[in-house]
Structure 1
Amino acid sequence: MSHSDKRVFLTGASGFIASHILADLIELGYQTTASVRSETKAQEILNLHPEWKGKVTFVFVKDIATPGAFDDVFKQEKNGFDYIIHTASPVNFNVTDFQKDLIDPAIQGYVANSIPHAGGPQVKRLVLLGSAVSVLDSFQDVSVAGADYTEKDWNPVTAASAIESKNAVLGYNASKKLAEKAAWKFLEDNKPAFDLTVMNPDIIIGPMLQPVHGSKNVNETNNFAVYNFLNGTYKQIKGLTFPFYHFVDVRNVSRAHILSLSNPAASNQRILLISDLITPQLIINNIRKHFPELKERIIEGNPSQILPDNVKPTGWNTKKSYDVFGKEWAYIDLETSVVDTVQDLLRLEKEWHTLEVHQEQIGGAH
């Protein structure tokens, strides 16, 4: 089914999740305009995916937190956009100034601020990539499971509590919650012609379609949830914890964004995207099961103890995702996701090694 008469604007197109969304938009035939930070970023994407040439128009937005950052994009699109997918937001736990580096860009980067005077009335829906951390309770005792979270829940974390804690995870949680709150408040205050759908996924892993230049550029979630087992960062299972204990595959997240564009059931909804449990030991077990050649690289842990000591995570009610997306909706399980992610990382490691050897040879030639 072609959607060639529908125009979509995708922000942050060089990101882990957005790269999958871009691939899906192109495959389905949407007229796609995608923002990246620079012409160099756009060229890197096309070098990696030459089959996308001529099927996507790139625009350049250096800093999404700048007031009116997207104004020129909307002015240049004479026919306007039917849908907007906004994914651009910081995901970095290695920051020191939470307000400046996490919270402000997440809130100020909210693309709807540019729509009323520049986007035009033809925009039907904004699909916003939020996070399950806007829903969960950052202060809940992880050793005691509570009632399953639903889309009606909001994280009690505040900017002040995150900054005071000096905890980067809390800072990230606050940034995502406050950005989503700002989105809903914008709708309430301005009553624009478009409606809103917010996706709230937990830890996202999966194969990567974005340009990855070396092992230090693996995206944050794939890095701490999978790659750190391969690269030797994790030396023992004792004391090893994750910031959250549920996951969803990146391909599910991308598909949910696409399915939400024109689906009436997605109108003005928050939608949790949660597949299953994810723990350090589950990652270890799946890698050692499917990649016996990696056993020397991967710690063994305690194969029968799935959860870390004193961790009983609260579950998630994902009924709405099935209700909205219908019979075709199914979550990719952890085992499949881990296998596909590891295969992708091993492929990339070979590429990085080949590149390093090539650079050494060039260096030696001088």
Structure 2
Amino acid sequence: MAKVLLTGGSGFVGAHILRTLLERGYSVTATVRSSEKGDKILASHATHRSRLSYVIVKDIAEEFAFDLAVQSSPPFDYVIHSASPFPVDFTDPVNDVLNPAINGTIGILKAVKAHAPGVKRVVITSSFAAIVNTSCPPKVYDENSWNPVTWEEAVANRSLAYRGSKAFAERSAWDFVEGEKPGFDLVTINPPLVYGPVIHSLESLSGLNTSNQRIRDFVLGKHLGNELPPTGTFLWVDVRDLALAHVRAIEVPAAGGRRFFTTAGYCSHKRIVDAIRETHPQLSARLPDNPIDDFPENCYGYDNGRVRNMLAVEFRSLHQGIGDTVSSLLRFM
């Protein structure tokens, strides 16, 4: 039975990765920020209790934060690093956003190399933010695409700080593996907007991940009329498919040393509203009557062939993903 260290196990994406790992027979240790979060994880997976444990890592950006977490008996075979700081309100882009993202990523790689020699592969949750090029979009985004943002731009422009942090953190990870030659190989998973049902412990809808907050606001009737907020990113993925991609990334030998642009395809706020109306007609009165679709005629293309072919991930439709998301959110209303 292979053993996996999963960081961020109590988060939106991490909870789905954890469930997928347990369903596929792995033994898992999840990192959490408190014993309260860890105990909730154990309680929610009582049938897999013999294969599940947790370890506390209060601040992933601290130096040596993972040194104890990566040490285990029996030792870990794989590490999936899904934990990532996502500060909504920040004052200092360097100390609040950029450095924490980079330090958290490099910190776990250093810890694995120094204290967990049995680890064969590390899978890191990166982002479409490390791929996207808003100034000059390519005709087709794929794993060869990189965000060209510079450090100076990320520091000077608040809106570029998060995207820059993801790009710099991922590049730092690849540079580390190339320069340090550790005993493990690296895989990065790059999703765009992540929608899908909520299964982790959530006290209120205010604690939703950023993407699902959009759906919450539609369901709550915050966008009546025909105008919708800008979609921004026109690509999405269901969190369950994203979780499977992470797990398949440790199962497929050929995945080592590769990025995976994990997207199901196109979306827009208009298409999301339509999906909510179709799957939950009782909510129609809370939705815009005839919203304008801002999906561009000449939208950039995407190539998710590597995920589909190498990792054998079959993506859910937007209709199913949004419908299941709304059903999960209604439990909190």
User: What TM-score results when the alignment is normalised by the length of structure 2?
Assistant: 0.94
**96-105 or 57-66, which deviates more:** 96-105
Kept in 1: contact 2:224–2:289 (CA 8 A): no
Kept in 2: contact 1:138–1:157 (CA 8 A): no
- Tell me how large the CA RMSD over aligned residues is: 1.7
Partner of 2:306: 320
The Cα shift of 1:325 comes to 1.7
Q: Distance in 1 between matches of 2:322 and 2:70?
A: 39
The Cα shift of 1:249 comes to 0.4
Amino acid at match of 1:340: D
Q: Distance in 2 between matches of 1:250 and 1:216?
A: 19
The Cα shift of 1:210 comes to 0.8
Q: Secondary structure at the match of 1:71?
A: coil
Runs of 5+ in structure 2 lacking a partner? Answer: none
Q: Distance in 1 between matches of 2:75 and 2:16?
A: 23
Q: Distance in 1 between matches of 2:48 and 2:15?
A: 11
The Cα shift of 1:52 comes to 4.0
Kept in 2: contact 1:260–1:266 (CA 8 A): yes
**59-68 or 103-112, which deviates more:** 103-112
Partner of 1:38: 34
Q: Secondary structure at the match of 1:296?
A: helix
Deviation by residue 1:70-115 (Cα, 9 ceiling, x = unmatched): 101233x133211000001023433332222221121111110212
**87-96 or 335-344, which deviates more:** 87-96
The Cα shift of 1:239 comes to 5.7
Matched, 1:118 2:110: no
The Cα shift of 1:124 comes to 0.5
Matched, 1:82 2:77: yes
Matched, 1:234 2:230: no
Change (3 A) 1:160 1:233: farther
The Cα shift of 1:237 comes to 4.4
Matched, 1:64 2:60: yes
Q: Distance in 1 between matches of 2:223 and 2:304?
A: 31
Q: Distance in 1 between matches of 2:70 and 2:265?
A: 39
Partner of 2:127: 131
The Cα shift of 1:228 comes to 1.3
Q: Secondary structure at the match of 2:140?
A: coil
The Cα shift of 1:320 comes to 1.2
Matched, 1:299 2:288: yes
Matched, 1:188 2:178: yes
Q: Percent identity?
A: 32
Runs of 5+ in structure 1 lacking a partner? Answer: 350-366
Partner of 1:100: 95
Amino acid at match of 2:96: D
The Cα shift of 1:238 comes to 2.7
The Cα shift of 1:312 comes to 4.3
User: What TM-score results when the alignment is normalised by the length of structure 1?
Assistant: 0.86
| Larger Rg computed on CA atoms | 1
Kept in 1: contact 2:230–2:294 (CA 8 A): no
Partner of 2:196: 206
Report the number of matched residues. 331
